[in-house]
């Protein structure tokens, strides 16, 4: 049985529309105009237990709305959804014990008290015995390198430490399904790496299912073999990361070291020029070449220009995903 299963999941909601200026304000006061937003439209997918899946999309694409439906916070307008064998919006106790949601921009810990106080509440709420609680806190503290931090007021922790403490609070009941919405948001590179490593360890150690949204592609490439891409409420891709590159960016990056400097106008005649770096002697140029024309273009470049070195690579995943999200091209 899949850990997460969504079929034709849709969410519509009305929002008020107000024109700017005094007249708009007056009209808005006496008569509200509403517009229906199709936040998520007929989204279907399945995630097997233990999978780590990246959920990608631009701001407002419908990622968070989908996560809210999967966690039972909001009711879908249409479609069916099952998570860990439960219908989320029924919010049964068994379901709530099996899931967790971490939001990078929100916090559940009590700001003015040490994280340990919030953890004790969570332990009582989830019915975790004292011994299990101590063990779980000790294991997670070690995995997150949070030794000595849980007794300090949350407001005194650094952003990275706070996020780790949030993760600890969200995982204290040993959930089977983790929904992570931008868990590394605003963290510095070191903290991002450490959160990422923790999530990988956690998944491997406990076999938890993870659905992760992030704007940091490093999170996705480090943790996810599979990605879902949503654009304007519609699912436009569900498959492997490598497949995403093949489907949306059938291009190769050709990096050439040239023995002399050529004007960019001339270089652009061969293919899209991504970057040019002039050196004391010669220059380094990065071309983006369509895969179909790769042989022909490289042969022409080699015959026309004085090439010292050449490398052909796949374009960076950030570039591919950026293109997908900008174009919104559906499958």
Sole binder of another protein in the list 91, 156, 205, 266 (CB under 8 A): 91
Least gap, CB of 124 to another protein (angstroms): 4
* Nearest distance from C-beta of residue 42 to another protein, angstroms: 20
Q: Is 168 in the site for another protein (CB under 8 A)?
A: no
Q: Spell out a b/e string for 21-39, using b for 16 or more CB atoms within 10 Å of the CB, else e.
A: eeeeeeeeeeeeeeeeeeb
> Could you give phi then psi for residue 67, rounded to 5 degrees?
-60, -40
Sequence-separated (6 or more) residues with CB below 8 Å from residue 280: none
**Residue 127 binding another protein, by CB under 8 A:** yes
- If one asks whether residue 74 binds another protein (CB under 8 A), the answer comes out as yes
Pick the stretch among 28-36, 66-74, 212-220, 317-325 that binds another protein (CB under 8 A). 66-74
Toward another protein, which CB reaches closer, 73 or 193?
A: 73
281 counts as binding another protein under rule CB under 8 A: no
Helix (H, G, I), strand (E, B) or coil at 280: coil
**Which one, 11 or 252, has the nearer CB to another protein?**
11
Q: Which listed residue (12, 28, 97, 174) binds another protein by CB under 8 A?
A: 97
DSSP state string for 186-255 = T--HHHHHHHHHHHHHHHHHH--EEEEE-S-HHHHHHH-SEEEEEETTEEEEEEEHHHHHHHH--EEEEE
User: Is residue 103 close enough to count as binding another protein by CB under 8 A?
Assistant: yes
Q: Which of 100-108, 135-143, 203-211, 314-322 is the region at the interface with another protein (rule: CB under 8 A)? A: 100-108
The DSSP letter of residue 114 is B
State the Cα–Cα distance between residues 189 and 159, nearest whole angstrom.
12
> Residues 229-268 vs another protein: string with x where CB under 8 A?
----------------------------------------
Tell me the site size for another protein, rule CB under 8 A: 32
Strands 283-290 and 251-258: antiparallel
Does position 78 interact with another protein (CB under 8 A)? The reply is: no
Tally of residues, the chain: 331
Give the C-alpha separation, 152 to 118, whole Å: 12
Among 19, 48, 112, 188, binds another protein (CB under 8 A): 112
Indicate whether 82 belongs to the interface with another protein (CB under 8 A). Answer: no
Please report, for residues 294, 295, 316, the alpha-carbon distance to residue 291 in angstroms, rounded to integers and kept in the order given: 5, 8, 15
Pairing mode, strands 52-56 and 226-231:
parallel
Positions that interact with another protein (CB under 8 A):
13, 64, 68, 71-75, 91, 93, 96-97, 99-101, 103, 105-106, 108, 110, 112-113, 117-118, 120-127
């Amino acid at each position: 049985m899949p850990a997460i299963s969504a079929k034709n999941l849709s969410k519509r909601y009305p929002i008020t529309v107000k024109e700017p200026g005094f007249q708009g304000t007056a009209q808005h006061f006496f008569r509200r105009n509403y517009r229906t937003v199709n936040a998520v439209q007929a989204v279907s997918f399945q995630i097997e237990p233990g999978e780590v899946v990246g959920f990608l999309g631009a701001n407002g694409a419908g990622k968070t709305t989908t996560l809210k439906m999967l966690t039972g916070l909001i009711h879908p307008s249409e479609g069916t959804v099952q998570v860990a064998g439960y219908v989320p919006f029924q919010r049964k106790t068994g379901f709530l014990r099996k899931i967790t949601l971490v939001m990078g921009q929100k916090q559940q810990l009590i700001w003015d008290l040490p994280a340990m106080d919030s953890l004790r509440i969570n332990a009582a709420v989830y019915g975790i015995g004292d011994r299990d609680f101590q063990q779980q806190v000790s294991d997670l503290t070690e995995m997150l390198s949070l030794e000595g931090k849980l007794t300090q007021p949350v407001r005194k922790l650094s952003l990275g430490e706070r996020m780790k403490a949030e993760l600890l609070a969200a995982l204290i009941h040993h959930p089977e399904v983790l929904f992570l919405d931008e868990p590394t948001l605003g963290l510095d590179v070191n903290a991002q790496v450490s959160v990422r490593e923790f999530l990988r360890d956690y998944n491997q150690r406990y076999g938890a299912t993870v659905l992760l949204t992030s704007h940091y592609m490093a999170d996705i490439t480090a943790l996810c073999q599979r990605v879902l891409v949503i654009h304007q409420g519609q699912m436009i891709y569900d498959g492997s990361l490598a497949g995403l590159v093949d489907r949306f960016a059938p291009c190769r990056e050709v990096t050439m070291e040239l023995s002399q400097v050529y004007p960019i106008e001339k270089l652009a005649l061969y293919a899209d020029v991504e970057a040019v770096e002039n050196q004391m002697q010669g220059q380094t140029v990065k071309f983006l070449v369509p895969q179909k024309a790769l042989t022909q273009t490289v042969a022409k470049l080699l015959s026309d220009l004085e090439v010292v070195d050449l490398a052909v690579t796949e374009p960076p995943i950030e570039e591919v995903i950026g293109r997908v999200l900008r174009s919104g091209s559906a499958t």
